[in-house]
Amino acid sequence: MTAALFTEQLLNGVQFGVMLFLIASGLTLVFGIMNFINLAHGSLYMAGAFAAAVTQRLTGSFLAAILVGMLVAALVGVVLEQVVLRRFYGRNHLDQVLATFGLILIMNEGTRILFGPTPLRMNLPDALSGSIEIVPGVPYPVFRLVILGVGLAVAGALYVIIMKTRMGMWVRAGASNRAIASAMGVNVPLVFAGLFAVGAAFAGLAGIMAGPILSVQVGMGEPILILALVVTVIGGIGSIRGAFVAALLVGIVDTFGRVLLTPALGSMAIFMLMAAILAFRPKGLFAVHG
């Protein structure tokens, strides 16, 4: 592998990693605070992508597509949370898995009814569709760099909000011990509803940014959801920092696995990584719960 190829693949890996982080950040906080497994989180990624693709077709504006896509994803997330998911916080994990599994079927089929089975296309504005040479001899698509930048910016903002603000303190308190945080006066249900909306918007954002690279189609959420779950679990459920480290790790291992190994073996690489990490650290790299 030449240095140029290595640089390109490393960038691809990091870019895929930050995209996984966008999805996993909401997942891990919801998981950590409410002890709730949301398999339907991938549906929010899909909702964002579809809303953006349709908005772009109607208005022609990429910026409007991003805004509407995130808003729709957040809205769908809040409606799901208030109408269905709320009932399952006190239930066991089996019920949660089943209920959200049912929701995946409903969301996928609902999307198919609304938009039809053919994948939608999203086009990049001219300013983002070129490529630049970051290292001499390595042309790299601008849009992928934008994804990288957006992902890192979101990660940075999340870090500041969660580590430095009062609201972030509530979230951390809720993640490490919900009962005690509640007893100390944190309005956990409210924090959670807000968190769910933000997590959904981020998942939607990831879906929108995946739109121009992959195609916008029914069922696009599940493969990425499984990877996001892997990230969540490797990082330690409830840990934002863990999710970030794990997302980069998974993104890089997955990308290099596909280049160096056969595609199928490459797809197995991250699952082997996960099994290996959990075998030695059963609660992930950055365990939040004691």
Partner 1 sequence: MADLSANPTKSHDWLAAPLLVLALALVPPVSIALGDPFLVKVATRIVVFAIVAVALDLVVGFGGLVSLCHAGLFGIGGYVVAILAYHDFNAEPFGLGALTFAGTSNLAVTLPLGALVAGAIAPVVGAISLRTSGPYFIMITLAFNQMFYYAAVALQKYGGEDGLQIMSTITLGPLDVSNRYRFFYVALAGLALTLLVITRMSASRFGIVLRAAAANETRIVAVGVAPWLYRLVAFTISGIFAGMAGALLAASQQFISPVDMAWDRSGDFVVMAVLGGIATVWGPVLGAAAFIVLELVLSSWTQHWHLAFGLMILLVVIFLRGGLADLRHILKPRTAGGAHG
For residue 95, what are its two tokens?
């019920």
Answer yes or no: are the C-beta atoms of 240 and 24 closer than 8 Å. Answer: no
- Spell out, one character per residue from 64 to 93, where the chain touches partner 1: x when CB under 8 A holds, - when not: --------------------x--xx----x
Among 60, 90, 102, 119, binds partner 1 (CB under 8 A): 102
Q: Using alpha carbons, select from 66, 34, 40 the residue that is nearest to residue 195.
A: 34
Among 3, 60, 90, 112, binds partner 1 (CB under 8 A): 112
Centre a 10 Å sphere on the Cβ of residue 145 and count the other Cβ atoms it contains: 16
Q: Quick check: 260 binds partner 1 (CB under 8 A)?
A: no
For residue 256, what are its two tokens?
């290099």
Q: Quick check: 177 binds partner 1 (CB under 8 A)?
A: no
Among 15, 232, 239, 255, binds partner 1 (CB under 8 A): 232
Q: Distance from first CA to last CA of the chain, Å, rounded?
A: 43
Nearer to partner 1, 10 or 278 (CB): 278
CA 137, CA 36: separation in Å to the nearest integer? 47
SS3 131: strand
CA 290, CA 285: separation in Å to the nearest integer? 13
Number of residues written out for the chain? 290
Q: Quick check: 34 binds partner 1 (CB under 8 A)?
A: no
Report the nearest approach of partner 1 to the CB of residue 280 (Å). Answer: 9
- The site for partner 1 (CB under 8 A) is made up of 31, 35, 37, 84, 87-88, 93-95, 97-99, 101-110, 112-113, 222, 226, 229-230, 232-233, 237, 262, 264-265, 267-268, 271-272, 274-275, 278-279, 282-284
